Homo-oligomer: A and B are copies of this chain.
């Protein structure tokens, strides 16, 4: 239950990887570093960029960079960037129609306190708290050693 999308999980891995000390990292480079297909990583980075969690530099020698320190990124914000606004209900979006009839809809505002509680819980945990386990041992070894390998070797 509360199925967190797999993309969101990747997002955490990607963000932690972005904290590896380098100034700028490319999408293919990150993909190689964390062992996730490049198109998927690209998609994650796009969402994160749209959510303001990373800043991007276009063009050759471009790449991504953390917009803030991991300590200042609550996990709730990552989820919001990937899966949309955090809300625990079936019809919470600000859709105009309001389930056709506001009075009839049994799903109304009731979950607000629950949502607030979850929001608070997710705001209290930062990515720094999840950092340690974020990059599995297998991928933690090739750090700054040679990370432009699998993409640089393609030319």
> A residues engaging B (CB < 8 A)?
1-6, 9-10, 12-13, 34-36, 75, 79-80, 82-90, 103-111, 113-114, 117-118, 120-122, 124-125, 129-130, 133-139
Q: Which of B2, B79, B109, B134 lies in contact with A87, CB distance below 8 A?
A: B2
- A35 and B118 in contact, given A2-B79, A83-B1, A86-B2 (Cβ under 8 angstroms): no
Q: Which of B2, B10, B104, B124 lies in contact with A138, CB distance below 8 A?
A: B104
**Inter-subunit contact A36/B106 (CB<8 Å):** yes
- For A109, what are the chain B residues with a Cβ–Cβ distance below 8 Å? 133
Distance (whole angstroms) from the CB of A43 to the closest CB of chain B: 16
- A13 and B106 in contact, given A117-B124, A125-B117 (Cβ under 8 angstroms): yes
Q: Taking the full assembly, how many copies of this chain does it contain?
A: 2
In addition to A9-B106, A121-B121, 4 A-B residue pairs with Cβ atoms within 8 Å of each other are A4-B90, A75-B114, A110-B133, A114-B125
**Inter-subunit contact B138/A90 (CB<8 Å):** no
Q: Which of B111, B113, B122 lies in contact with A114, CB distance below 8 A?
A: B122
